[in-house]
Structure 1
Amino acid sequence: MEESSVSSGLKEESNNEVDPIVDIIDYLVRCANVFFKNASVNNPEVRNNDKIQYACEFYKQSPTKFLLQFGKYLCANHLQYFEKQHLDNKSYQKCLAELKLYHSNESRNKRVRNRRYKAMQKLQEDTDYFTEKQMMYRNPLLYDQLIGQYLTDDEIRERDAVGPENLTLLSMILDTVERNEMRQTKYEQMLNEDGGSSEDTVEDSSGGISPQSNSKRNGACKEKQWGSFDVPDTEVPHVPDKRKPTMINANERNLLREEFIHEMYTSFIEGRDINFDYNSVDNDEEYDDLQQISQDAEDKYFDSEENDARTLEEHMTLIEEYGRKKSVESSDSNTDPLDVYMQHISYKL
């Protein structure tokens, strides 16, 4: 069945224009990948044209139910079309008002940050994304300022040691590539921070690249910031002496390490990790915090003048779903120290 025949009932006669709902449904099918119809194991996958036909018929039969089922998958600008429809339908208008709130910038920003926070916890549990080594690769300059410059040679060797499980040619090649990328990243960060150029850089003691001091050209030294390291006024030799870490006490080291970790968590939540695919998190309902959604539904019910049954049923469904999820999570009694720390700082995010 051709798409033109599927949506023919929604075409406007004047000026041979197509009703915008056709484009909206097309977006839902092709871009939002909304699941419209159940496909059994023995039947072939439902074609896009069949999905479009189903959605068009569903919208004509019940615009309100259409919005209830598919409204959260729409784009914010799609709501402008629905605002002009069914002005005398109170249920429709109430549903539309809730969707406008759902698609508001404030609501979306909150939803995105919550999903990224849940994704961050999952990455802590299942991957090495938030290990010290991987965070060092992503922001080497900040790492060196807050942690690296205070490490002893033994601590650096322990940090960079390759475990027995990684003693393969491929893993060693990948580790070398990551370190080269880290040096390039650090070099670019230093140029951006100091406003220097490639002519003003020399190799540092760790094999990276450091900018020379601009004090001679500017006639004065920049004020040293907390956590930064001194850059000598004289040219650094290409074959430096043995590295001498700056000595600070254990409490200061812990504070600087916590500052680095907090900054890397914040960078992830604010979307500043340039090599991470945020679309895979921001648009995935699996990362929704069911406990928070349940609390919002409860607040909505008790604040509502109507206290309608549908709102209460929605709240109870969320509580039941959250309870099932917590029962699965409780089977693992191990507590990650990073989770404890994140619980402490989450109220600041």
Structure 2
Amino acid sequence: MEELRFAQKYPFSSTAKRVVRQSNLSLGELPVEVIERAEVLVRNALQGIEYKANVVSSQGLLLNEVLAFPVAKIIVSCIGKDEAIRKFSVLIAANTLRHLEAEQPETLFAIAADLSIRFDLSEGGQEFARVVLPDFLAAGTKDEFMKLVNKKVEKGKVVLSRASFEKFLSYAVEKNVLSSLPVDVTGIPKNFGEISRRLYSGAVEQQKKQFEGIPSGKVKPEFFPPCFKRLYSDILVGKKLGHIERFNLATFLLAVGMPQERVIDLYKATPNFDENTTRYHVARLAGRSGKQYSASSCSKLAEYGLRLPDCPCNASTKIKHPLQVYRKAFSEKDSPTQNEA
């Protein structure tokens, strides 16, 4: 039972893989319960919702939870979208972090070893572990406090507190899952294709509903979330923005209804402005080539290093996208009742 519980919490682990192998999993004879749990896992990933496995004491139900992970990977692979793969990897990493925070140190070390991370135990105090520099860098960093410039490095090893080590492991897990996808779906049962199409179309519809009600024709910068208020203020004063900053600001401004010409005018104040290039890229982001680019989610902005400490998504897991913040502020502060008050 303990092995199954471990595999349930850490489905990417060698323990979980061994459990799956020993189960003689057959895609043509999957229990309905396994498919249902896999669907929940993928649906939550696509919609940015936390996944909580069923708390069960039955060995059979625990096994279903473990088997749901490889089945979910097949569904995600059938969807065939990079964004779906990324979201799935992010969800597994988030689940891992939540579990690690409640574990004994030995479990953290076991997970690190399972991921082939080279580390030493630290000497105590605030120091928990020392990770060799190449392994630390390979995992990637999304949060400001985890960047190498903010860490102590001694003799080629990065010194981490327990909280930082947990966060680092979640990065490594995300990369581990990401690198394992997509899986080969040649010859899989047809129902997997049907499931993947249904889940993906449902997620798209959910996203459309989420952002319904964003007014067009007028843009209120005062309602922007902090991350975009900063970028907007920077561009107004002619500050040079990097590529990632320019891209994200433009997609956000277009999403809240700012006309293309107005977006182009804003960029004219920047020192690296080239009108032809800017006009081309803004038109492309707006969908001239047939594909309109979506504004980045909060998690993606965090990856880019654009999320600020006072962004609302830091305080509430319900906030997944900056457009949620803008829409909510617009509906609350720009209503007729508020204006008349």
TM-score range, shorter chain: under 0.3
**Length-normalised TM-score, structure 2:** 0.22
Q: Which has the larger radius of gyration?
A: 1
**Length-normalised TM-score, structure 1:** 0.22
